[in-house]
Amino acid sequence: MKEKVLITGASGFVGYHLIIEALHNNLEVFAAVRNNSKIDHLKDLAIEYVYPDYTDITSLKKDLLEKQYDYIIHAAGITRARSAAEYDRVNAEYTANLAQAGLELGSQLKKFVLISSLAAVGPLKALDGIITADTPPDPITAYGSSKLLAEKKLKAIGDLNYTILRPTAVYGPRDTGIFIFFKQVSRHLEAYIGRGEQKLSFIYVKDLAKASIRALHSGNKQTFNLSDGNFYDKYQLGHLSKNILKVKTFKFHLLVNFVKLIALVSEKVSSLRNTAPILNLEKLDELTAVNWSCSIEPVKQDLGFYPQYSLEDGLYETLEWYRTNNWI
């Protein structure tokens, strides 16, 4: 009999790739989605849909006991919100509710994997350094703070066997975030915010999915930072993308203060419309942060996880997918 895994956030970019990797590992997949989720891209997959109510622990307990999951991978969350309170509610409180409900399964639940973010630690303020397992968390955004709060709530549930994964910037087919940069490059534009030096890090979504499945069988109560094991200057992503797409671009730098003005206007307009801003001052701080490089030695040693994709290899697959599917 196949082991059962519940994957939350299943209709999303990361969720889709988690499902594919879980199926490749002969797991019976239960995809947690919302009633209004777009799931056309999942229709041909051998999965069962579930619709958990993360606000109701009693309902969650009932659902989990009915399905008797062996594993939970919690990837659901939000990256844009109208307030810090909204981030905390969705990213932290809902995580705690699901994990608390998971205790009802007792020894049946072998592992709870939380897809957190390197934003929970925050970037370093100097180029000469690397984020390690011992780096004190100092998130610079409400999003990062909510992810750190989710981690703390998870760790406070004493009897739960968990693994926390903190991926850096994730890219790959179906992503709509970094995709904005790729789309501009395909249109011969290459824009940067300021001229300050940066150390950036990335992880291909398929590598994140492999690490997540491997974490199901790892030790207890572990936290790992995830990247492809390298770091890059601010221009490397553009340089590789141009080569793969075989385009020339007009490279230009936007003044940080000019982008700050745009962010302020975006915040104000979004506030009036009661919507989440695409760009705000916190997001700008994240985009211009000095150093996001991180060590992945612990995840190599403890999970035996070694990234399979270099940035160039991952970008080639990603950009080919965007072209094939007419995104660019």
Q: What is the pLDDT of residues 151-184, one digit of tens each?
A: 999 999 988 999 999 999 999 999 999 999 999 9
Q: DSSP states of 8-37 as a string?
A: ESTTSHHHHHHHHHHHHTTPEEEEE--TT-
Of 205, 295, 190, residue with least CA distance to 245? 190
Whole-angstrom distance, CA of residue 195 vs CA of residue 85:
33
Whether the predicted pLDDT of 272 surpasses 90: no
Domains defined along the chain, listed by start: 4-176+201-229+293-308 (3.40.50.720)
Question: What is the model's pTM?
Answer: 0.95
The number of residues in the chain equals 328
Which pLDDT score is estimated for 278?
83
**Contact in structure between 44 and 67 (CB atoms under 8 Å):** no
Q: What is the pLDDT of residues 201-234, one digit of tens each?
A: 999 999 999 999 999 998 889 999 999 999 999 9
Whether the predicted pLDDT of 270 surpasses 90: no
Q: How confident is the model at residue 140 (pLDDT cuts 50, 70, 90)?
A: very high
**Contact in structure between 9 and 15 (CB atoms under 8 Å):** yes
Q: What is the pLDDT of residues 2-27, one digit of tens each?
A: 999 999 999 999 999 999 999 999 99
Q: What is the pLDDT of residues 181-194, one digit of tens each?
A: 999 999 999 999 99
Helices (H) and strands (E) in the chain, counts: 12, 11
Whether the predicted pLDDT of 317 surpasses 90: yes
Whole-angstrom distance, CA of residue 38 vs CA of residue 19:
15
Q: How confident is the model at residue 91 (pLDDT cuts 50, 70, 90)?
A: very high
Contacts of 23 (CB under 8 A, 6+ apart): 29, 45, 46, 47
Running DSSP on this structure, what letter comes out for residue 2? P
Of 235, 168, 245, 150, residue with least CA distance to 208? 168
Whole-angstrom distance, CA of residue 1 vs CA of residue 180:
43
The three-class DSSP label of residue 102 is helix
% residues pLDDT > 70 (the chain): 100
Which pLDDT score is estimated for 280?
86
Label residues 75-84 b or e (16+ Cβ within 10 Å = b).
Answer: bbbbeebeee
